[in-house]
Amino acid sequence: MSTEPDAPSVVPENVPARRRNHALMAVVIAVLVVAADQLSKWWAMSSLELGAPQRNVLGDFLSFRLVMNPYAALGLGAGYTWVITVVVVVVVAVIIRFIGRIRSVWWAVTLGMLLGGAVGNLADRLFREPGFARGHVVDFIGYAHWFTGNVADIAIVAAAILLALLSVIGLGLDGTREEHGKAAEPDAPADTTSRDA
């Protein structure tokens, strides 16, 4: 039998470090989305006139028109702005909790965009007129005659699409894939114990 000491087992990848890296990625993406959203809203407020005719960008399909939106979505919820604000705060808290469990780049991107979009519009609800938690959201990107949105909305819609795709392919927050209703086991460390006789 070999007198050499057993070779050390392969040390699995540092899971807490990976989680921190993915969480950091999600936070950075969220910050970038919020910055882009608020800067674009500042531009809209300083360059567009409320109630003025739209500025066509791509014919009638895409235009700029400034709208101060008191609604939740699709013209609903104008009288319950504070309720919308509370709901969004809860959603943001839930997203932040999930971010700590991420071990997938795609989930980091998805939750980062979702968090950034939610915070971007939440900032409007909290700090814009007519008052705290009742503020109107700045919308300025018009899509034909369907609706008017902003950069935060774009991030939220993109995150929703990615969320649906991740659900379809069965990719979990921890980076494992669902296979036939069961989660695929993460790769186990290789057994490097000496078997020499």
Just list the catalytic residues.
139, 153
Say how many C-beta atoms besides its own lie within 10 A of residue 14's C-beta: 10
Are the C-beta atoms of residues 40 and 123 closer than 8 Å to each other? no
Cβ within 8 Å of residue 136, ≥6 positions away: 68, 69, 70, 81, 124, 128, 129, 130
- C-alpha triplet 10, 13, 15: angle, nearest 5°: 140
CA end-to-end distance (rounded Å), the chain: 4
